[in-house]
């Protein structure tokens, strides 16, 4: 696996695919700069070698060139984080972009305009990718969040750099972390899958059953498993058409010797609001008119024990409706358990939109081993797929 550490960038221009798809407020201020921070080590290594960096990214889902999705709005924030004044050019291809890249000196950084202002980016257009390739001597992919897309800048452009392409520090770290879970994990290996739907995690479950010793199923998806086994779940969320599948997953797990842990009690609410009345219920016996919204006290205790006996942990999905303060305690308790296990030497990887949001919100980001930056890309990796953005560098 060729990374930026294998290349000396002195006198070279690196064309770097970063993921600067960051949230902005109504005044175009960046409200979460995590993704910019994550790209910093790659950019700094290139500049310190005596190279220059040309940054390309998308932002949002523009329909053509829309000002509100212009990357000019984030140039100042990128400058502030990297500690270098970033130049901006109002296109990502063509004469203007080529001139700006040609004039770039060692130690300088150029930010290109939003790739998705051109329909050719998402279409994976070869001619567009070739135009991008003129802006650098070495292609660096450091955007895990888009590595599952065969877009021009994430995959197609790599073919114009047959010898001069590599992974950035962030993408390399993502690959190594996922490998630790899926191939090299010290046993016992535990996967924690939460969130609302079984359907969105089916292929993940099927792929990881051969690789884990324990599987915790929590959050809304647990009710499909409970109902399939004859439990009463009240008004709780449930995918009725996935009950057979849930039973099949339990059967497969048993055959493979994987211990499945499903909640035993829940916090049930009589309304989907912070002010609802709540009670602790046996998960197999939730009264009519009530719905499970968080893991109960016995479940938290049970999960804590499993977590602290594990040496490798993957966490994907919350245990309850953590966005509401009243129903966040199960997810917080799980976060504390994982933080404690990590402190004692366990490798823990958190990935997937909601669990990443939860670890940030509750202050666990620096208490776990690694927080993945790619939601969809992370899930596809866990499903056992080779991501096109990664494959293009390995070719």
355 a known binding residue?
Answer: yes
**Active-site hit among 2, 72, 353, 360:** 353
- What domains can be seen in the chain, in order of their start residue? 4-167 (3.40.50.1260), 175-382 (3.40.50.1260)
CB atoms closer than 10 angstroms to residue 340: 14
Question: From CA 377, how far away is CA 387, in angstroms rounded?
Answer: 7
Determine contact, residues 31/23, Cβ cutoff 8 Å. Answer: yes
Spatial CB neighbours of 257, under 8 Å, sequence gap ≥ 6: 213
Question: From CA 148, how far away is CA 167, in angstroms rounded?
Answer: 15
Residues across the chain: 395
Could you confirm whether 353 is annotated as catalytic?
Answer: yes
- Say what the pTM is: 0.89
20 a known binding residue?
Answer: yes
Residues of the chain with pLDDT under 50: none
Could you confirm whether 376 is annotated as catalytic?
Answer: yes
317 a known binding residue?
Answer: no
Residue 100: HSE in the Cβ half-sphere, 13 Å Cα cutoff: 23
Beta strands in the chain (DSSP E): 13-17, 52-56, 86-89, 109-112, 138-141, 165-167, 189-193, 214-217, 232-233, 259-261, 265-269, 278-282, 285-286, 291-295, 312-316, 347-350, 370-371
Q: Which two tokens stand for residue 37?
A: 């921070």
**Active-site hit among 197, 298, 311, 360:** 197
Residue identified by tokens 């609410």 is: 269
Q: Which two tokens stand for residue 121?
A: 């980016």
Could you confirm whether 197 is annotated as catalytic?
Answer: yes
The torsion defined by the Cα of 48, 53, 56 and 60, in degrees rounded to 10, comes to 50
Nearest by Cα to 303 from 388, 223, 212, 193:
193
Report the side by side order of strands in the sheet with 109-112.
86-89, 109-112, 52-56, 13-17, 138-141, 165-167
Determine contact, residues 334/192, Cβ cutoff 8 Å. Answer: yes
Question: From CA 335, how far away is CA 358, in angstroms rounded?
Answer: 9
**Radius of gyration in angstroms for the set of CA atoms belonging to the chain, rounded to a whole number:** 23
Nearest by Cα to 131 from 167, 103, 95:
95
| pLDDT tens digits for range 291-314 | 999 999 999 999 999 999 999 999
Question: From CA 31, how far away is CA 354, in angstroms rounded?
Answer: 17
**Active-site hit among 12, 13, 17, 35:** 35
Concatenating the DSSP letter of every residue in 278-295 gives: EEEEETTEEPTT-EEEEE
323 a known binding residue?
Answer: yes
35 a known binding residue?
Answer: yes
């Amino acid at each position: 696996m060729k990374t930026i550490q294998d290349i000396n960038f002195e006198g070279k221009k690196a064309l770097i695919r970063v993921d600067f798809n960051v949230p902005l407020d109504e005044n175009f201020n960046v409200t979460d700069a995590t993704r910019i921070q994550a790209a910093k080590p790659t950019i700094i290594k290139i500049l310190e070698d005596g190279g220059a960096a040309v940054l390309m990214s998308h932002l949002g889902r523009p329909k053509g060139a829309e000002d509100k999705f212009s990357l000019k709005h984030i140039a100042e924030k990128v400058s502030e984080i990297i500690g270098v004044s970033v130049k901006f050019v109002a296109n990502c291809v063509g004469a203007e972009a080529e001139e700006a890249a040609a004039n770039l000196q060692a130690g300088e950084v150029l930010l290109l305009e939003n790739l998705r202002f051109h329909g050719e980016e998402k279409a994976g257009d070869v001619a567009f990718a070739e135009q991008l390739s003129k802006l650098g001597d070495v292609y660096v992919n450091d955007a895990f969040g888009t590595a599952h897309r065969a877009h021009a800048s994430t995959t197609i452009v790599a073919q114009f750099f047959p010898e001069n392409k590599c992974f950035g520090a962030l993408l390399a770290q993502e690959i190594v972390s996922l490998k630790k879970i899926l191939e090299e994990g010290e046993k016992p290996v535990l996967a924690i899958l939460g969130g609302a739907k079984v359907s969105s995690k089916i292929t993940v479950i099927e792929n990881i059953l051969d690789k884990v010793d324990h599987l915790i199923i929590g959050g809304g998806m647990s009710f499909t498993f409970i109902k399939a086994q004859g439990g009463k779940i009240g008004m709780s969320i449930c995918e009725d058409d996935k009950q057979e599948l849930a039973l099949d997953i339990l059967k497969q797990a048993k055959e493979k010797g994987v211990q499945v842990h499903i909640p035993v009690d829940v916090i049930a609410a009589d309304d989907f609001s912070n002010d609802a009345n709540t009670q602790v219920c046996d998960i197999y016996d939730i009264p009519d008119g009530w719905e499970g919204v968080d893991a109960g006290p016995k479940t938290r205790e049970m999960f804590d024990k499993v977590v602290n006996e594990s040496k490798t942990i993957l966490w994907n999905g919350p245990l309850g409706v953590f966005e509401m303060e009243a129903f966040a305690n199960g997810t917080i308790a799980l976060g504390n358990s994982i933080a404690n296990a990590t402190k004692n030497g366990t490798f823990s990887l958190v990935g997937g939109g909601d669990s990443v949001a939860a670890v940030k919100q509750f202050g666990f980001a620096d208490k776990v081993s690694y927080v993945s930056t790619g939601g969809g890309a992370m899930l596809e990796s866990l499903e056992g797929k080779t991501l096109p953005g990664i494959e293009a560098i390995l070719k």
